[in-house]
Structure 1
Amino acid sequence: MSPVVSILADVLVAVLLVASIVSSVALSRRITRLKADEAALRQTIGDLMIATESAERAIAGLRTTLGECDRTLSERLRTAEHTSADLAERVAAGEDVVARIGRIVAQARPSAAAPAAAAPVAPPAAVPAGTGAPSPAAPPEPRPVSTGERLGAAAAAARALSERALSRLQAHAA
């Protein structure tokens, strides 16, 4: 072999060795960066796992709270429905009592006015002229009773009945 070919072969081998060393260094740096990225990725995955576990615990707590709220709301709704039904019954009973009291009051008023109307009206006595004695006044005519007065009387009677019922209940409870 000639010395020129031998030098060219040596130069070619040297260039290839330099290229191989440069690529090895570049690959080494890339591997180092990948390992650093792998460590960061592992840390991120660990943080994500912790956050996921925390979120699962929070969701379980929320489900428990939601169940308790649902049960409490259901109980309150049932209580409200029972109270509403009871109140409706009491209002209906109260209206019935007021209606009966109104009928009683209405019947009692004309019967109180009836004896006065049934009593004979005496003709006015003759008064001698010039004596100055006034003539006896005619009996007052019964005045008409207004609906407002009837309702007021019915309300008063209902109040009295409720007070008596309350006192009976209190006496019975004691």
Structure 2
Amino acid sequence: MNHSFGLAIESLVAVLLVLTLGYCMLLNKRLKRLRADEQSLKATIGELITATEIAERAIGGLKHTVRDVNDNLGNQIESATELSRQLAKQLAEGDAVMRRLTRIALAARPATAPEPEAVASDARSVAAAARAFSERKRASGLAA
């Protein structure tokens, strides 16, 4: 019995060793796959680092461009503001000149007022002349 008991234990140890060997082979395959994945992961990380550096340079360029555009727009806004002030001043001066001219024209008007029919016919003739003028300009391609 001792002999068969020893043989059973030895057989059990042999089976366990075979199972251990099979499991080690399985682990070896998994480790190889993991190492292969590690290499591809390193390559991916390298590409990611390169893309990040390119993006950082692009962002730096964009920041520089934004600063330039901001300065340029600031100068243009200042110029436009100054031009707007000048135009407002010139409009006010033109309005004052127009008021003075109106007063002068009213003061120089003859004491007798023209008949309403004569004024209406003068207005019609001016409107007809303006229409003819605009039609001539359109025909020559100068008017919109």
Give the TM-score, by structure 1 length: 0.61
Deviation of residue 14 (structure 1)?
Answer: 1.2
1:17-166 equivalences in 2 (<5 Å): 17-110=17-110, 113=111, 142-144=112-114
Query: Against the structure 1 CA distance between its residues 145 and 35, is the aligned structure 2 distance closer, same or farther, given a 3 Å change threshold?
Result: farther
Deviation of residue 17 (structure 1)?
Answer: 1.6
What is the percentage of aligned positions where both structures have the same residue? 40
- The aligned amino acid for 1:143 is A
Q: Between Structure 1 and Structure 2, whose CA radius of gyration is higher?
A: 1
Q: Deviations over 1:47-78 (max 9, x none)?
A: 11111111111111111111111111111111
Question: By percentage of residues, which structure has more helix?
Answer: 2
Name the CA distance, whole Å, in 2 between partners of 1:20 and 1:76: 81
Moved beyond 4 Å, runs of 4+: none
Deviation of residue 82 (structure 1)?
Answer: 0.4
Name the CA distance, whole Å, in 2 between partners of 1:143 and 1:98: 22
Deviation of residue 90 (structure 1)?
Answer: 0.5
Q: Deviations over 1:99-150 (max 9, x none)?
A: 112222222224xx5xxxxxxxxxxxxxxxxxxxxxxxxxxxx33499x9xx
Residue 7, structure 1, aligned to residue 16, structure 2: no
Q: Residue in 1 aligned with 2:139?
A: none
Give the TM-score, by structure 2 length: 0.72
Greater relative contact order: 1 or 2 (C-alpha under 8 angstroms, separation 6 or more)?
Answer: 1
RMSD: 2.1
Name the CA distance, whole Å, in 2 between partners of 1:11 and 1:66: 80
Aligned residue for 1:143, secondary structure, equals: coil
Name the CA distance, whole Å, in 1 between partners of 2:3 and 2:108: 151
Name the CA distance, whole Å, in 1 between partners of 2:48 and 2:88: 58
Name the CA distance, whole Å, in 2 between partners of 1:98 and 1:91: 10
- The aligned amino acid for 1:20 is T
Structure 2 residues without counterparts, runs of 5 or longer: 120-144
Structure 1 residues without counterparts, runs of 5 or longer: 114-141, 149-174
